[in-house]
Structure 1
Amino acid sequence: MNNRNIPEETKRLVRQDCFFGCVLCGAPIFEYDHIEEFHIVNKHEISNLALLCPNHHREKTSGRLSSDRVKNGRQNPFNKGREHASPWHIEPGRNRIVEFGSNIASGLDGDGDYRVIWINGRNYFVQHSENGWVTFSAAITTIDGEILLLIDRGELKSPVNIWDIKYQGTNLKIRVAPTEIILDMDFSNEKIRINHGFFVDERDKSGLYIKDKKIIAAFKGIERGTCEGGFAMGNQGGVFGLASDQSFMENRPYGFAFFYGP
């Protein structure tokens, strides 16, 4: 075999084996490394491939990290037995625009917190601005409300017990089966776009679905309303809110575009 391109299915199996993180530190941003160099083995064996973060990969390539140490990490991945991969820090940026399908939300100028998604008394997506630099927090869920991906002021925590997680450039996809994507998002320190995902309250399965370029309001698991091509800029309280019960409406924040259902 002279083709240095690793087959996609081989990559997926290596990601699973290594629990979606660097085998030495658990970082969820990684590269594929041939433990015994490719020019020697001339093939892509799963057992000879490991995930390494950019720092550890550079250390191995430069000769400062031994193959033996990587082999040991491959046999005992850092993330094995953990709920999440090691946190990955997303640097602050200047951009205040967030995209949910074809809907765009732009936060206020100035410092402070800007609630982009609020559901039944809980914040699911918040922008934080300090000295002109913006970070964000998010709780992205499954359709049943189980927390899938957490971001806390730019610190990303991704799951490791899942069928597949794939980062490619700025894109992140999480699958629970070969053709079933439950999260598709693009992010960097300057761009946030949710192409497909869920923000759902596990207590009654009400929330907002992002799919087919729309925001879909679901009440107790039943889709009721949609928003497509919307643009919200500078709302004082926030952007998208959903309340599935009158008791939540009584304490709703000011300034949201609200979905309300019994």
Structure 2
Amino acid sequence: MVSRHVPLAVRRELRQEANFGCAYCGTPLIQYHHIVPFSEEKHHDPERMIVLCPNCHSEADAGTIKRERLYEMKDSPYISDKVEHGFYFESSKPVIKYGGLWHKITNPNQKQASVLRIRGKDIITIYFEDNILTFDIAFYNAKGDQIAGVEKGDWWADTEKLWDMEYKKKALTLASRSHGLGLEIEYDTDEDLVNILGKFFYKNRLVELYTDRTVVNQSTILSNHATAGAGGVSVK
């Protein structure tokens, strides 16, 4: 019996095929769409699958984006080269700005860094490979249940309709009004700088990341610090 879980090798092939973004619109958060529906035939054939963002995935499921168009996008994805990816850096030493920290990646061999950790749990982790920035993000509700997440660009949520997602001009926004959570990531190409803003919850800690400070349960704990390497915001 074929599992609903898409194998790692297939996911990797599909991401590379579309240059790490939605094949239809370029959004850097993706899901795996079966052009030939899984309900019609239980398969994970990469020749009949495509990576789409949640919005385009829903439209494809509804038939708004036709199968023929999806096959066309497999051959000619929105991002024609990885250099066009929303978070592709010309520099090998980009700067990540979040929560009052200026985090400069000075080691070209550095593959990942923790941006935000709450009570020992990594909430935001960034990866920098082949000049492309990807990230892991974990969203939790007040009960401590994980309700959504990103794993190197792969997006999932327990209830999609509770989340708003927007991507334009190298800026990604995620928001859940019902849970009071959100994330903004914007790439300034002139400065080779990524700004990360957000609101996260984990084990009775409400953490808000602003450009110049980190606020925990409405109290500022950090403001305007520079760092390099793998340092990040850690909340106990």
Q: Normalising by structure 1, report the TM-score.
A: 0.47
Q: 1:216: how far off?
A: 0.8
Tell me which of 218, 227, 232 is aligned to 2:222: 227
What is the CA–CA distance in structure 2 between the aligned matches of 1:22 and 1:191, rounded to whole Å?
32
- Which residue in 1 is equivalent to 2:175? 174
- Which residue in 2 is equivalent to 1:239? 232
What is the CA–CA distance in structure 2 between the aligned matches of 1:206 and 1:195, rounded to whole Å?
16
Show structure 1 runs of 5+ residues with no match.
1-19, 36-47, 63-88, 244-262
What is the CA–CA distance in structure 2 between the aligned matches of 1:241 and 1:34, rounded to whole Å?
39
Kindly provide the amino acid, as one letter, of the partner of residue 174 in structure 1.
A
CA contact (8 A) 1:108 1:114 kept: no
CA contact (8 A) 1:197 1:210 kept: yes
What is the CA–CA distance in structure 2 between the aligned matches of 1:168 and 1:56, rounded to whole Å?
20
CA contact (8 A) 1:32 1:52 kept: no
Is the partner of 1:238 in helix, strand or coil?
coil
What is the CA–CA distance in structure 2 between the aligned matches of 1:101 and 1:51, rounded to whole Å?
39
- Which residue in 1 is equivalent to 2:103? 105
Q: Normalising by structure 2, report the TM-score.
A: 0.51
What is the CA–CA distance in structure 1 between the aligned matches of 2:95 and 2:86, rounded to whole Å?
16
Q: 1:227: how far off?
A: 3.1
CA contact (8 A) 1:184 1:194 kept: yes
- Residues 54-101 of structure 1: per-residue CA shift (max 9 Å, x gap): x618559x9xxxxxxxxxxxxxxxxxxxxxxxxxx9876445322326
**Residues 56 and 187 (structure 1), Cα distance of their counterparts in 2 relative to 1, 3 Å cut:** farther
What is the CA–CA distance in structure 1 between the aligned matches of 2:211 and 2:174, rounded to whole Å?
16
1:96 has 2:94 as partner: yes
Kindly provide the amino acid, as one letter, of the partner of residue 115 in structure 2.
V
Q: Percent identity?
A: 8
CA contact (8 A) 1:141 1:147 kept: yes
Kindly provide the amino acid, as one letter, of the partner of residue 64 in structure 2.
A
- Which residue in 2 is equivalent to 1:195? 197
What is the CA–CA distance in structure 1 between the aligned matches of 2:137 and 2:186, rounded to whole Å?
15
Kindly provide the amino acid, as one letter, of the partner of residue 117 in structure 1.
L
Instruction: Indicate the structure (1 or 2) with the bigger Cα radius of gyration.
Output: 1
Aligned alpha-carbon RMSD (Å)? 4.5
Is the partner of 1:110 in helix, strand or coil?
coil
Tell me which of 141, 159, 162 is aligned to 2:157: 159
- Which residue in 1 is equivalent to 2:135? 137
CA contact (8 A) 1:126 1:138 kept: yes
CA contact (8 A) 2:199 2:206 kept: no
- Residues 162-204 of structure 1: per-residue CA shift (max 9 Å, x gap): 3342223132232335xx8621312569764333321x33xx3
**Residues 139 and 22 (structure 1), Cα distance of their counterparts in 2 relative to 1, 3 Å cut:** same
* Larger relative contact order (Cα-Cα within 8 Å, sequence gap ≥ 6): 2
Q: 1:242: how far off?
A: 1.5
What is the CA–CA distance in structure 2 between the aligned matches of 1:110 and 1:21, rounded to whole Å?
31
Kindly provide the amino acid, as one letter, of the partner of residue 233 in structure 2.
F
Show structure 2 runs of 5+ residues with no match.
1-30, 36-49, 77-84
Tell me which of 42, 50, 57 is aligned to 2:64: 50
What is the CA–CA distance in structure 1 between the aligned matches of 2:205 and 2:58, rounded to whole Å?
43
Q: 1:111: how far off?
A: 1.6
